[in-house]
Amino acid sequence: MSQVIDGTGLTPNDEVAIEALVEPWIDACVRRDWDKLLGMCTDDVVFLPPNEPAVPDSGVRGWLDTFPAIKAMAWHIDHLEGTAHLACARGWVKMTLDVSGQQVVFDGKYTDLLRRQPDGTWRFALVMWNSNSAA
């Protein structure tokens, strides 16, 4: 369970709903199901990958198509805070990537911003991660 800052406007149901996005996100990444992944994002999502420029909404799908195959992935929300309509999640991420036939282990951290949608669901609006190792 993540650490939630008391009095921030997130309810226990919000915390459960946001944490419930972790496994579907991992599944979509490993299966390269970009439609499923983008379905968990706002229409104006921005990806901020390590050592690259920002990838705005219209470019995310094409960028994902060029991302190395993810063989294994784990991530955890260590800290979660927000308001009734905006949440910030922070934690760690680990991936095993297939980069040109080589297995590469990525050990990093992330900060994501999520926005509550009119139907009450939470979606990723900003996805940012970086490595714990030098580039």
CB–CB of 37/45 below 8 Å? no
Q: Which domain holds residue 123?
A: 3-131
Which CATH number fits the domain that encloses residue 82? 3.10.450.50
Residue 134 confidence class, pLDDT cut points 50, 70, 90: confident
Structural domain total, the chain: 1
pTM score: 0.91
Report CA dihedral (30, 92, 123, 72) to the nearest 10 degrees.
Answer: 0
113 closest CA partner among 81, 79, 88, 84: 88
How far is residue 50's CA from residue 135's CA, in Å, rounded to a whole number?
9
Q: pLDDT digit string (tens) for 23-46? A: 999 999 999 999 999 999 999 999
Question: What six digits make up the tokens of 3?
Answer: 């650490």
